[in-house]
Structure 1
């Protein structure tokens, strides 16, 4: 299992994971657009100062800036992804500040945001209570928190299809540890409530959200061979093993493929709270 105290998100997201996301950016943007829409629809339209945590390539950040927020800031640990985010903002003609930092540690201006939001960017903190305490200090009194996070692994079988199929060929794939920083670290709603309560957020709610996400079938091999545990492992194996993994994993996704389209249900929590 991954020791949550040794998880090195900076190395991963400034290296293989961040670079893989950039390579697949157009696919990932389209795949997760329905989830971005759900998050944007859920945040207050009155928000004027916005902090987007784990903003990645800036899709939700730029959308909020385009909606008229007076000041929009995106923070992420990945410089490759922030480079793409800055380019996106420039192309959209919006004024956004992007900060390369760990939101757990960064010294934000106190009480300066009336909305703290995130799409899949808050599950990777080594110390989530410390992180959300820091974010609360950055939030103005009464500010809104809205974060979209993944529910249980069992509710999201698409996300582990590749690693389950590839396991016999890649025996060193790390097992998922829901207690460690990672994709499913916020699956347990009791754990999330404890984190937010201890870090000073009030009125905490978690509402289940189920959204259908799609991608062209032609992009499927590129998706699972770049991203996730299998994507991280494949650059370190020989070409014959890589080809064998692709041959084995691709049919495992057949239940999700219909008429040249891949479709799956993303099972998430919409986490909400207010800065006390």
Structure 2
């Protein structure tokens, strides 16, 4: 097995296992927390238009459903994700809401989309996990019509997002096996380097590349802080294996470290991200 296929297998295992289930079980926290970022994507969709829109790495479907509601009966939104638990949750949400979004469980890097079928491709934190970014964005380019818009949001650097890493830094002395974040491959911070993102898009057939830093205020209920930090990220992957004593120590230590972000009944932090736009280059 080569390195690329091994990485792809790791991502599939991750998102179809503990991590995927955790995102499903915490969607009631994550969707409101990231809604300000979702809104930045959805507002770019022309309400009531006949646009065909693809949401890449759609997760449990929040953005795809919001786009489908905005499009109405004339347009169409399809979400794609590698995670079976998350796609199952997205389909269930669409059925409950009677919202006409559809969902595909597949890897957008190599899925056989109908060529030139989308007017717009969107993603909220869903495009940083491919094992070959140029191949993935080239595949998305083939799925896009000439001149189609690409819009997505990705994290900037770890150093600019201290809230994201405070919990694991605080817990590390108590959890020697805590997995380190990978910055050189698939993962939330794979697009921290603006120049790298630009090169990937240029090489894969996208033009008019526009990469802008944004800092967006996000919140979650203080009463849900422990559930959030013990389920999401590297800490969520390992803490379930700890004994009760260690788990209690970790939670106490992490909550103390995150105290500066707690303001009454809310936890507040700034998400330092890139808002990235491009257009499908004509063949």
For Structure 1 versus Structure 2, the TM-score category normalised by the shorter chain is over 0.9
Pick closer, same or farther for the CA change 1:36–1:47 going to 2, 3 Å.
farther
SS of the aligned residue for 2:112 comes to coil
Question: Helix, strand or coil for the counterpart of 2:199?
Answer: helix
Match of 2:16 in 1: 14
Distance 1:4 1:232, change over 3 A: farther
Does structure 2 retain, via aligned residues, the 8 Å contact 1:150–1:268?
Answer: yes
Task: Report what 1:168 is aligned to.
Answer: 173
Deviation at 1:36, TM superposition (A): 0.8
Q: Mapping of 1:21-36 within 5 angstroms?
A: 21-36=23-38
8 Å CA contact 1:128–1:195 kept in 2: the answer is: yes
Q: Match for residue 197 of structure 2?
A: 192
Q: Please, which of 45, 63, 68 is the counterpart of residue 66 of structure 2?
A: 63
**How do residues 106-145 of structure 1 correspond to structure 2 at under 5 angstroms?**
106-145=111-150
Query: For 1:79-94, what aligned pairs fall within 5 Å after superposition?
Result: 79-94=84-99
Partner in structure 2 of residue 50 of structure 1: 53
- Counterpart Cα distance in 1 of 2:174 and 2:4: 26
The alpha-carbon deviation at position 4 of structure 1 amounts to 6.8
* Count of residue correspondences: 274
Maintained 8 Å contact 1:169/1:241: yes
RMSD, matched Cα? 1.4
Mean Cα deviation higher: 66-75 or 137-146: 66-75
What corresponds to 1:234 in structure 2? 239
Q: CA deviation at 1:175?
A: 2.2
Structure 2 distance, partners of 1:161, 1:236, is 20
Any gaps of 5 or more consecutive residues in structure 1? none
Native 8 Å contact 2:50 2:76 kept in 1? no
| Cα distance in structure 2, aligned partners of 1:227 and 1:159 | 10
Measured after TM superposition, the shift of residue 146 of structure 1 is 0.1
Is there any run of 5+ residues in structure 2 with no aligned partner, and where? Answer: none
Counterparts of 1:12 and 1:28 in 2: how far apart (Å)?
A: 18
C-alpha contact (below 8 Å) 1:4/1:180 kept by paired residues: no
CA contact under 8 A between 2:46 and 2:70: conserved in structure 1?
no
Give the TM-score normalised by the residue count of structure 1: 0.96
* C-alpha distance in 1 between matches for 2:183 and 2:46: 31
Distance 1:223 1:181 in 2: 22
Structure 1, 71-80 or 41-50: larger mean CA deviation: 41-50
Superposed displacement of residue 47, structure 1: 6.3
**Structure 2 Cα separation of the partners of residues 196 and 235 of structure 1:** 38
Deviates more, 1:4-13 or 1:198-207: 4-13
